[in-house]
Amino acid sequence: MNHHIELKSENLHSSFNKEYKPILTIQSGDTIETRTPDIQWGYSAHKGEERVIYHSRENEERLGHPLIGPVAIEGAKPGMVLEVRINQNVPGWYGRNWAGGTPAWQNEKLGIADSERLQIDWTLDREQMTGNCTMSGRQFSVALSPFLGLIGLAPGESGTHRTSPPYRTGGNIDCKELVEGSSLFLPVEVEGALLSFGDGHALQGDGENSGTAIECPMDLVNLTVVLHEEMELAMPKAKTPAGWVTFGFDEDLNEAAATALDEMVGLIQQFHSLSKTEAMALASVAVDLRVTQIVNGVKGVHAILPHGAIR
């Protein structure tokens, strides 16, 4: 069954909490279709049209990312796995990114003064899949690769959790590999799973180095959810057009890398019935470790095993 979620404040929130009432309950195999606002809680459908500003229905003291949801999946229980199939991500006509000001440690290392904070406005061409901006009187163009920076389930821990750091249940992963055609697998920790998503990105480099991608609204997000009752999962993983992806999150980048690698080694063991040491040997020659992002407090690393790399 297909479900359309209207873009309105009643369907938006800005934190994770297992007590939040779901806006919708769906079945495994169902599809969700909606629009998402930009990172500043606004949305404009057409160039020249005034941006509509939305609000969180949960009235958080400090706003984070604007999220659609939560959406409950009937029959989801702790210990199960929810697969989120990313069918379509269609960006809006505009986007923005910023540099300078934050993160402060980068500005100090790179010699960028806090006073040099800069906003870049992008015009997005969905027909050509390009983004265009002007800096220092010159025009620049980039090829777009849109994805949602944030897809996550409610953590099992009590209380309200910020949207900025990624969690074991997903959230603000900010991995540019999660494009159309990808499946993200997330461990369920609460009844109903409570899926939330948002944070449209038209393009981002690994690391999300200035703290932002080209942040944009999404004119169309289409996701299908599939509940796996027998699958076991400790951390998020994904099957993407680039290959299998595993993740690690930690304040220490080394620890994040170790987790991502350990999860990938386990996947290779599962695929090829190998010992851990044997799988590690294959990982060393076939797997890439990449810095997902370094700007959300909890840093992210992802490991990629390209399709067909091991035969």
3-state secondary structure 101-144: CCCHHHHHHHCCCHHHCEEEEEEEECCCCEEEEEECCEEEEEEC
Tell me the per-residue pLDDT of 147-197, one tens digit each, with 9 for 90 and over.
999 999 999 999 999 999 999 999 999 999 999 999 999 999 999 999 999
CA nearest neighbour of 91 among 142, 152, 157: 142
- What are 95's two structure tokens? 């986007």
Walk me through the domains of the chain, giving residue ranges and CATH numbers.
2-90+149-230 (2.60.120.580), 97-141 (no CATH), 242-306 (3.10.28.20)
DSSP 281: H
pTM of the model: 0.96
Check the CA dihedral 303-307-212-38 and report its sign: negative
Average pLDDT rounded to a whole number, residues 36-51:
96
What is the model's pLDDT at position 163? Answer: 97
Peptide bond before residue 70 is cis, with ω within 30 degrees of 0: yes
- Give the pLDDT band (50/70/90) at residue 107: low
What is the model's pLDDT at position 186? Answer: 98
Residue 108 has pLDDT above 90, yes or no: no
Residue 310 has pLDDT above 90, yes or no: yes
In contact, 15 and 161? CB cutoff 8 Å = yes
